[in-house]
Copies of this chain bind each other. A is one copy, B any other.
């Protein structure tokens, strides 16, 4: 007699694959819109935009729009254009972020600002941003326009807030949460909300999807900020310690600083102010983060927001779309392990 192994219903490692498969056909339509609408008579525009858009991103935000529309059994096709608009807004902010941070590497490839220069990145970002609004206007929903124009203003506000917090070790956890709520979570929330708008569901459903996206976005960014101290180019597609060297005061640093000895707090201050940038300094920082449980607790905070995201969907939809959206959260918070 042979022992039978009963496979677990859930894979032990959560994955984005169910969501990717759920929306694959829709995403083909979105990609067609993206490709068609990043064209221009000025050749540098599709060249530069294509570098980033074709550059291996997960299309997380448009995927959320599509998956939420599926959750609500939306039968139409309006969300393809709008998901493309969401991706254009995201791409525009990435182009501008890389200029702002002077980044050289994203998703394992050289950034557009390194290849084509800052001026081109700024202007092509502006173009994509305008194109996003043209796509929304073609769709014609003022509620979608309101949602995404507001999200865009909040994102820019969050980026400026982050800029003024940079190199300031005294940044509080509250301010950090404000920053990531604006720069990351606002677009996640809007990407989900617009699915409810096109599906013409009531405000409670809209708000539930907004909350799912917002909490997922916060969890996502918390994990990103933890990974930044663990990544190498292979796992993250950007250099480990970028935030450390840029003096970005993320939650791991806030916790390690708060919990540190006087000497450790001095180290963190000097590091954030740009006086501790060697590999040995980064290794020391990583050690302090481990000692103070700062990474573990950052990931714990991420799980908290992840759970809130999942709970926000209580009573909204069911079936494979629901399962995929839940597993996307589990994937987001499990990435760092």
Contacts and interface: CB of A to CB of B under 8 A. Distances in A.
A140 interface: yes
Nearest to A138: B146
A119 B163 contact: yes
A301 interface: no
Interface string A42-61: 11110000000000000000
Contacts of A164: 42-44
B152 A130 contact: yes
A124 B157 CA distance: 8
A42 B159 CA distance: 10
A116 to B, nearest CB: 9
Given A42-B160, A42-B164, A161-B42, A99 B127 contact: no
**Identical copies of this chain, number:** 2
B100 A119 contact: yes
Interface string A200-236: 0000000000000000000000000000000000000
A126 B156 contact: yes
Contacts of A129: 126, 129, 152, 156
Q: Top 3 A-B pairs ranked by shortest CB distance?
A: A130-B153, A127-B156, A130-B152
17 contacts: A42-B160, A44-B163, A44-B164, A96-B123, A99-B118, A100-B119, A100-B122, A100-B123, A119-B163, A126-B129, A126-B152, A126-B155, A126-B156, A127-B160, A131-B153, A134-B146, A137-B146
